[in-house]
Structure 1
Protein backbone atom coordinates (compact mmCIF):
# COMPACT_ATOMS: atom_id res chain seq x y z
CA UNK A 1 0.00 0.00 0.00
CA UNK A 2 1.38 3.37 -1.00
CA UNK A 3 1.08 6.31 1.32
CA UNK A 4 0.68 9.82 -0.08
CA UNK A 5 4.10 10.82 1.23
CA UNK A 6 5.73 7.89 -0.62
CA UNK A 7 4.76 9.15 -4.05
CA UNK A 8 6.81 11.87 -5.71
CA UNK A 9 5.20 15.28 -6.06
CA UNK A 10 3.92 15.98 -9.55
CA UNK A 11 5.66 18.86 -11.20
CA UNK A 12 3.44 21.14 -13.25
CA UNK A 13 4.20 22.30 -16.74
CA UNK A 14 6.56 25.24 -16.88
CA UNK A 15 4.67 27.64 -19.16
CA UNK A 16 7.29 30.36 -18.83
CA UNK A 17 10.01 28.01 -20.07
CA UNK A 18 7.80 26.98 -22.99
CA UNK A 19 7.16 30.63 -23.84
CA UNK A 20 10.88 31.39 -23.79
CA UNK A 21 11.53 28.33 -25.93
CA UNK A 22 8.93 29.48 -28.43
CA UNK A 23 10.52 32.93 -28.60
CA UNK A 24 13.95 31.37 -29.16
CA UNK A 25 12.50 29.14 -31.89
CA UNK A 26 10.95 32.14 -33.64
CA UNK A 27 14.09 34.26 -33.33
CA UNK A 28 16.31 31.48 -34.62
CA UNK A 29 13.96 30.82 -37.53
CA UNK A 30 14.02 34.50 -38.47
CA UNK A 31 17.82 34.70 -38.25
CA UNK A 32 18.29 31.50 -40.27
CA UNK A 33 15.80 32.77 -42.85
CA UNK A 34 17.76 35.98 -43.28
CA UNK A 35 21.05 34.10 -43.55
CA UNK A 36 19.64 31.69 -46.12
CA UNK A 37 18.19 34.59 -48.10
CA UNK A 38 21.59 36.26 -48.33
CA UNK A 39 23.31 32.98 -49.20
CA UNK A 40 20.80 32.14 -51.91
CA UNK A 41 21.01 35.63 -53.35
CA UNK A 42 24.79 35.59 -53.68
CA UNK A 43 25.24 31.94 -54.66
CA UNK A 44 24.37 29.74 -57.60
CA UNK A 45 21.86 27.58 -55.70
CA UNK A 46 18.70 26.80 -57.54
CA UNK A 47 15.27 27.62 -56.12
CA UNK A 48 14.47 23.91 -56.06
CA UNK A 49 16.35 23.72 -52.74
CA UNK A 50 14.02 26.22 -51.04
CA UNK A 51 11.59 23.65 -49.56
CA UNK A 52 14.51 21.74 -48.03
CA UNK A 53 16.06 24.90 -46.65
CA UNK A 54 12.73 26.02 -45.20
CA UNK A 55 12.20 22.61 -43.57
CA UNK A 56 15.69 22.76 -42.06
CA UNK A 57 15.06 26.26 -40.71
CA UNK A 58 11.79 25.20 -39.07
CA UNK A 59 13.32 22.01 -37.66
CA UNK A 60 16.41 23.77 -36.28
CA UNK A 61 14.42 26.60 -34.73
CA UNK A 62 11.91 24.33 -33.02
CA UNK A 63 14.58 21.83 -31.95
CA UNK A 64 16.73 24.44 -30.18
CA UNK A 65 13.71 26.24 -28.73
CA UNK A 66 12.34 22.98 -27.34
CA UNK A 67 15.75 21.98 -25.98
CA UNK A 68 16.02 25.31 -24.17
CA UNK A 69 12.48 25.04 -22.79
CA UNK A 70 12.93 21.53 -21.44
CA UNK A 71 16.40 22.29 -20.07
CA UNK A 72 14.97 25.23 -18.13
CA UNK A 73 12.01 23.15 -16.95
CA UNK A 74 14.27 20.27 -15.92
CA UNK A 75 11.60 17.61 -16.40
CA UNK A 76 8.86 16.49 -18.77
CA UNK A 77 11.03 17.17 -21.79
CA UNK A 78 8.73 15.46 -24.23
CA UNK A 79 5.74 17.53 -23.11
CA UNK A 80 7.64 20.82 -23.05
CA UNK A 81 9.18 20.10 -26.44
CA UNK A 82 5.86 19.14 -27.99
CA UNK A 83 4.36 22.30 -26.50
CA UNK A 84 6.99 24.44 -28.19
CA UNK A 85 6.51 22.57 -31.47
CA UNK A 86 2.73 22.89 -31.36
CA UNK A 87 2.96 26.56 -30.41
CA UNK A 88 5.33 27.22 -33.31
CA UNK A 89 3.03 25.36 -35.70
CA UNK A 90 -0.07 27.25 -34.58
CA UNK A 91 1.69 30.61 -34.74
CA UNK A 92 3.11 30.00 -38.20
CA UNK A 93 -0.18 28.60 -39.47
CA UNK A 94 -2.09 31.60 -38.13
CA UNK A 95 0.37 34.11 -39.56
CA UNK A 96 0.49 32.24 -42.85
CA UNK A 97 -3.26 32.29 -43.30
CA UNK A 98 -3.43 35.99 -42.40
CA UNK A 99 -0.56 37.13 -44.62
CA UNK A 100 -1.01 34.69 -47.50
CA UNK A 101 -4.69 33.79 -47.84
CA UNK A 102 -5.41 30.95 -50.16
CA UNK A 103 -6.22 27.29 -50.25
CA UNK A 104 -4.81 25.09 -47.49
CA UNK A 105 -3.98 21.48 -48.22
CA UNK A 106 -4.42 18.91 -45.50
CA UNK A 107 -1.26 17.08 -46.56
CA UNK A 108 0.85 20.24 -46.31
CA UNK A 109 -0.64 21.02 -42.92
CA UNK A 110 0.07 17.52 -41.63
CA UNK A 111 3.63 17.61 -42.97
CA UNK A 112 4.36 20.82 -41.09
CA UNK A 113 2.69 19.53 -37.95
CA UNK A 114 4.79 16.35 -38.14
CA UNK A 115 7.94 18.41 -38.74
CA UNK A 116 7.37 20.76 -35.80
CA UNK A 117 6.14 17.98 -33.53
CA UNK A 118 9.10 15.71 -34.18
CA UNK A 119 11.58 18.59 -33.84
CA UNK A 120 9.95 19.64 -30.58
CA UNK A 121 9.89 16.11 -29.19
CA UNK A 122 13.54 15.48 -30.06
CA UNK A 123 14.61 18.87 -28.75
CA UNK A 124 12.68 18.31 -25.54
CA UNK A 125 14.32 14.96 -24.91
CA UNK A 126 17.78 16.38 -25.62
CA UNK A 127 17.09 19.40 -23.42
CA UNK A 128 16.17 17.33 -20.37
CA UNK A 129 19.19 15.09 -20.85
CA UNK A 130 21.58 18.07 -20.88
CA UNK A 131 19.85 19.90 -18.01
CA UNK A 132 21.46 17.76 -15.31
Structure 2
Protein backbone atom coordinates (compact mmCIF):
# COMPACT_ATOMS: atom_id res chain seq x y z
CA UNK A 1 0.00 0.00 0.00
CA UNK A 2 1.50 3.30 -1.09
CA UNK A 3 1.22 6.19 1.37
CA UNK A 4 0.41 9.68 0.27
CA UNK A 5 3.54 11.84 -0.30
CA UNK A 6 1.87 14.71 1.55
CA UNK A 7 1.03 12.54 4.56
CA UNK A 8 4.58 11.15 4.64
CA UNK A 9 6.08 14.65 4.55
CA UNK A 10 3.68 15.84 7.24
CA UNK A 11 4.63 12.90 9.45
CA UNK A 12 8.35 13.59 9.08
CA UNK A 13 7.80 17.32 9.67
CA UNK A 14 5.82 16.65 12.83
CA UNK A 15 8.44 14.30 14.24
CA UNK A 16 11.27 16.77 13.53
CA UNK A 17 9.23 19.59 15.08
CA UNK A 18 8.52 17.58 18.23
CA UNK A 19 12.14 16.45 18.64
CA UNK A 20 13.47 19.96 17.92
CA UNK A 21 11.08 21.54 20.40
CA UNK A 22 12.01 19.02 23.07
CA UNK A 23 15.74 19.62 22.54
CA UNK A 24 15.28 23.40 22.55
CA UNK A 25 13.25 23.20 25.76
CA UNK A 26 15.89 21.07 27.45
CA UNK A 27 18.60 23.48 26.27
CA UNK A 28 16.71 26.45 27.68
CA UNK A 29 16.17 24.60 30.94
CA UNK A 30 19.83 23.67 31.31
CA UNK A 31 21.31 27.06 30.33
CA UNK A 32 20.70 30.75 30.88
CA UNK A 33 19.09 31.29 27.47
CA UNK A 34 16.43 33.96 27.58
CA UNK A 35 12.96 33.47 26.25
CA UNK A 36 13.46 36.40 23.88
CA UNK A 37 15.45 34.08 21.60
CA UNK A 38 12.61 31.57 21.54
CA UNK A 39 10.95 33.05 18.40
CA UNK A 40 14.12 32.62 16.33
CA UNK A 41 14.59 29.12 17.67
CA UNK A 42 10.98 28.22 16.88
CA UNK A 43 11.22 29.59 13.35
CA UNK A 44 14.45 27.64 12.80
CA UNK A 45 12.86 24.40 14.04
CA UNK A 46 9.78 24.86 11.83
CA UNK A 47 11.94 25.76 8.82
CA UNK A 48 14.17 22.71 9.29
CA UNK A 49 11.20 20.41 9.78
CA UNK A 50 9.55 21.66 6.59
CA UNK A 51 12.78 21.34 4.63
CA UNK A 52 12.97 17.69 5.69
CA UNK A 53 9.24 17.11 5.17
CA UNK A 54 9.36 18.79 1.77
CA UNK A 55 12.33 16.61 0.84
CA UNK A 56 10.39 13.45 1.75
CA UNK A 57 7.31 14.69 -0.11
CA UNK A 58 9.32 15.57 -3.21
CA UNK A 59 11.17 12.29 -3.23
CA UNK A 60 7.94 10.31 -2.98
CA UNK A 61 5.94 12.28 -5.54
CA UNK A 62 8.80 12.32 -8.10
CA UNK A 63 7.50 15.43 -9.93
CA UNK A 64 6.58 19.06 -9.20
CA UNK A 65 8.46 19.07 -5.91
CA UNK A 66 8.01 22.82 -5.40
CA UNK A 67 4.25 22.42 -5.67
CA UNK A 68 3.95 19.45 -3.31
CA UNK A 69 6.44 20.94 -0.84
CA UNK A 70 4.60 24.28 -0.88
CA UNK A 71 1.31 22.47 -0.37
CA UNK A 72 2.88 20.69 2.60
CA UNK A 73 3.87 24.11 3.99
CA UNK A 74 0.32 25.36 3.58
CA UNK A 75 -1.19 22.33 5.34
CA UNK A 76 1.42 22.59 8.11
CA UNK A 77 0.62 26.29 8.62
CA UNK A 78 -3.10 25.56 8.83
CA UNK A 79 -2.49 22.85 11.44
CA UNK A 80 -0.26 25.15 13.53
CA UNK A 81 -2.86 27.93 13.28
CA UNK A 82 -5.70 25.58 14.28
CA UNK A 83 -3.75 24.30 17.29
CA UNK A 84 -2.97 27.87 18.37
CA UNK A 85 -6.55 28.97 17.86
CA UNK A 86 -8.16 26.03 19.64
CA UNK A 87 -5.65 25.71 22.49
CA UNK A 88 -4.68 29.33 23.15
CA UNK A 89 -7.45 31.34 21.44
CA UNK A 90 -4.82 33.12 19.35
CA UNK A 91 -5.77 34.65 16.07
CA UNK A 92 -3.81 35.61 13.00
CA UNK A 93 -0.60 37.19 14.27
CA UNK A 94 2.50 38.66 12.67
CA UNK A 95 4.52 35.69 13.90
CA UNK A 96 2.14 33.28 12.17
CA UNK A 97 2.46 35.21 8.92
CA UNK A 98 6.27 35.08 9.18
CA UNK A 99 6.05 31.36 9.95
CA UNK A 100 3.78 30.87 6.93
CA UNK A 101 6.28 32.49 4.59
CA UNK A 102 9.20 30.51 6.00
CA UNK A 103 7.47 27.13 5.86
CA UNK A 104 6.10 27.68 2.36
CA UNK A 105 9.57 28.54 1.05
CA UNK A 106 11.34 25.77 2.98
CA UNK A 107 8.74 23.17 2.00
CA UNK A 108 9.01 24.13 -1.67
CA UNK A 109 12.82 24.10 -1.48
CA UNK A 110 12.81 20.70 0.22
CA UNK A 111 10.40 19.39 -2.42
CA UNK A 112 12.64 20.60 -5.26
CA UNK A 113 15.67 18.97 -3.66
CA UNK A 114 13.75 15.74 -3.01
CA UNK A 115 12.56 15.45 -6.62
CA UNK A 116 16.09 15.94 -7.96
CA UNK A 117 17.87 13.46 -5.66
CA UNK A 118 18.82 10.23 -7.38
CA UNK A 119 17.29 7.11 -5.90
The two structures share one fold, judged by TM-score above 0.5: yes
Structure 1's 34 and 117: CA in aligned 2 closer, same or farther, altered over 3 A? same
Which structure would you say has the larger Rg?
1
RMSD: 1.7
Aligned pair partner of 1:127 in 107, 114, 117: 114
Q: Separation in 1 of the partners of 2:113 and 2:91?
A: 36
Match of 1:89 in 2: 77
Match of 2:95 in 1: 108
TM-score (norm 2): 0.91
Q: Which runs of 5+ in 1 are unaligned?
A: 1-13
Question: Given the alignment of the two structures, is residue 53 of structure 1 paired with residue 41 of structure 2, yes or no?
Answer: yes
Q: Which runs of 5+ in 2 are unaligned?
A: none
Shift of 1:73: 1.1
Aligned residues: 118
Shift of 1:64: 0.2
Q: Secondary structure at the match of 2:4?
A: helix
Give per-residue Cα distances to partners, 1:1-33, cap 9 Å, x unaligned.
xxxxxxxxxxxxx98011110111011101100
TM-score (norm 1): 0.82
Shift of 1:131: 4.0
Q: Separation in 1 of the partners of 2:54 and 2:82?
A: 20
Q: Separation in 2 of the partners of 1:70 and 1:79?
A: 9
